[in-house]
Structure 1
Amino acid sequence: MAGNDDAHVDEFIETEGLVPTSHGRVWAHSRRRGAAAGVPLVIVHGGPGFPSDYLQPLDSLADERPVIRYDQISAGRSDRASDRSAWTVEAHVEHLEQVRGHFDLSRFHLLGHSWGGFLALSYADAHPDRIASVTLSSPLVDSDRWMRDAAALIERLPKADRSSLLAGPTDPGYAAAEAEYYRRYFCSIEPWPLPLQRAADSQDAASYHAMWGPNEFTNTGVLRGQSRVDAVRRLTVPSLWITGADDEARPETIREMASLTARSEVRILPGTHCTHLENPATYETALRSFLQVVDRD
């Protein structure tokens, strides 16, 4: 009987369902090992509109703690938004709070990637008592700073690509130049890893355009001019900042942002915006170590 008990506590338990929000239902997934006792981790994807599939490899942390991720409204397996009032940061904070309540989490670690970092900071600012730590993975923190960084990255492209991007989408070389930008700064693996391709295949262009714009280096949506620098300054919990050496979220910017809050740790890894896919072992080791330390404190 003891052997059966041991087998039971080592089993991975997965659940998924649709969580009601004021703008429709969002799909949420939980994975945990029966014996895992760590503080839960909630993962928030980027985009906006780029579903959580590309972050599925982080489910591997469920051997130590429950891992929860969800698709934001209109993305992936979630409902399409009921109206345009869904395209606000405040609405997304509300949806994340509904996910937290669905899983009855009193306190949890929060990880946000890219735009998900902006959302994680917004949530931590609104509900600081809920958060054990924040991991900001290649985060958007300040839209104007992101655009200045994008301009600097465009300057590194070959002259023909720079010229096409400056000329605009009607230029014959624009699509190829855009693809080169993504290859250098978004994901360098060709073809894209399956989790990333699955996310791309089910992304929601409407929410991406409404909240951000037509591409990573053109900001025309509701996030234009928005910043969460003050939310960084108000952070009181430990924070881990991870970015790639060739990331859209430039290391110089990430170090500067992390310096605005106490109890911050910065890790610059080889790779681009998807360094968690390009260097999974190094990324996972850094994240595990950080979460374990916070759990012990």
Structure 2
Amino acid sequence: MNKIVFSALAALALLAFQANVHAHQDPEQAGYIAVDGGRIWYRINGLKHVGKTPAIIMMHGGPGGTHRGNMPYVALSDTYPVILYDQLGSGNSERPGDQKNWNVKRFVDEIDHIRQALDLDEVIIAGHSWGGSLSAEYASRNPQGLKAAILSSPLISTQQWNKDNQEWVDELPKEAQATLKKNNFAGSLEDPEFRAAVELFYSRHMCRTDPCNTTSYRDDGPSGNDEMYETMWGVTDFNGYGTLKDYDITDQLKDINVPSLVICGEFDEARPRTCRRYADMIKDATTVIVPDAGHATMSANESMYMEAVRTFLDKTLK
């Protein structure tokens, strides 16, 4: 896993996993947008489609990740305006360092600020992992102009997430299980024994390629926010015990009224059976499981992942 396992953000945040033709594609427009608490940085491609097709707003994982892991979505700018951005406190966005900003509602409200600043009447909301939480939150509000929602390996319930991943942990070798349990799943990644057990888990359920391809993340690019990640979530992907420990929007899924895509990996930390159950709670949802993929679904099979997204959107918006 190399540098992936050495950062808490590298798991849920998905800083970047896949080298692809869009990994370093420059934005057609970029800048800052004022939100509650500061300014966030955004980038957009597909400007010629603004006002003609709904704009895709894609949200990164974390909390505390960056837009870099979502670069494959730029491929859709041949048909749709595609907006990627860094949430307040990470990446290129301002970092006021005030933890009162680290709450779900304020992060969801960033979407409306983006829409207002860029004058986006019709949008498709999308997000991976923690970004999937924000996508589900926003879609459940059914705002005017929302045309579709993409929930990619979403965090919907922390309790369910922890339960699902405990079952994945139970399939690890006994020695790795013992190490993780001894540390209550919250040890230090500086501890070689604990780090090795975490790395083994990630090799099965985060990024299953060997080595995990992180070359789309430039060393001079935006960095994530480890403090935010550990405060809101924890040290590892598979045990959330931070301020999101009681997070659960399962009951809000029934309020989503737009066509939705729930997509995850076969061995994802967002387990397929759970994602299917979530999809069943949404009035009009399609489920796609990426074979032999962990939580880094775009890294595992970017072409299949993006084709599934494009097919869903083409069918939904025809």
- TM-score normalised by structure 2 residue count: 0.85
Higher helix share: 1
2:200 maps to 1:185: no
- Any conservation in 1 of the 2:141–2:256 contact (CA below 8 Å)? no
More off after superposition, 158-167 vs 184-193: 184-193
Task: Tell me the matched-pair count.
Answer: 285
The answer to whether structure 1 residue 163 and structure 2 residue 178 are counterparts is yes
Of 256, 278, 281, which aligns to 1:260? 281
Matched, 1:150 2:165: yes
- CA distance in 1 between partners of 2:180 and 2:120 (Å): 45
Contact 1:43-1:69 within 8 A present in 2 as well: yes
Q: Secondary structure at the match of 1:215?
A: coil
Q: For residues 18-37 of structure 1, what are the structure 2 equivalents within 5 Å? A: 18-32=32-46, 34=48, 37=52
Contact kept, 8 Å, 1:61 with 1:67, in 2: the verdict is: yes
Residue 306 of structure 2 is matched in structure 1 by 284
Would the aligned equivalents of 2:290 and 2:297 in 1 still touch at CA under 8 Å? yes
State the 1:290 CA deviation.
0.8
Unaligned runs of 5+ residues in structure 1 are 1-11
- The 1-side partners of 2:220 and 2:86 are apart by 10
Q: Find the structure with the greater CA-based Rg.
A: 1
Kindly indicate whether the alpha-carbon contact (under 8 Å) linking 1:52 and 1:199 is maintained by their aligned counterparts in 2: no
Change (3 A) 1:198 1:133: farther
SS of structure 2 residue aligned to 1:192: coil
- Once the two structures are TM-superposed, the CA of residue 237 in structure 1 deviates from its matched residue by 0.5
Following superposition of structure 1 onto structure 2, how do residues 116-155 of structure 1 map, counting pairs within 5 Å? 116-155=131-170
| Residues 232 and 257 in structure 1, CA contact (< 8 A), matched pair in contact too | yes
Pick closer, same or farther for the CA change 1:242–1:295 going to 2, 3 Å. Answer: same
SS in 2 for 1:194: coil
* TM-align CA RMSD: 2.0
Residue 175 (structure 1) aligned to one of 177, 195, 220 = 195
- Residues 273 and 196 (structure 1), Cα distance of their counterparts in 2 relative to 1, 3 Å cut: farther
Q: What's the offset of the Cα at 1:193? A: 2.8
For 1:42 and 1:52, locate their aligned partners in 2 and report how far apart those are by CA, in whole Å. 11
Percent same amino acid at aligned positions? 32
Q: Which has the higher contact order (CA 8 A, sep 6+)?
A: 2
Shift of 1:13: 6.8
TM-score, with normalisation over the residues of structure 1? 0.90
| Distance of aligned partners of 1:127 and 1:234 in 2 relative to their CA distance in 1, 3 Å threshold | closer
Equivalent residue runs for 1:45-64 within 5 Å: 45-64=60-79
Q: Is the 8 A contact 2:213 2:299 kept in 1?
A: no
Q: What letter matches 1:61 in structure 2?
A: L
Whether the 8 Å contact between 2:265 and 2:297 is mirrored in structure 1 is: yes
Q: Deviations over 1:40-69 (max 9, x none)?
A: 111011111110101112101000110001
SS of residue in 2 equivalent to 1:188: coil
Q: What letter corresponds to residue 230 of structure 2 in structure 1? A: H
**1:89 Cα offset (Å):** 0.3
Measured at CA, do residues 98 and 258 of structure 1 come closer, stay the same or move farther in structure 2, by a change above 3 Å?
Answer: same
Q: Which runs of 5+ in 2 are unaligned?
A: 1-25
- One-letter code of the match for 1:273? H
Which of 267, 271, 289 does residue 246 from structure 1 map onto? 267
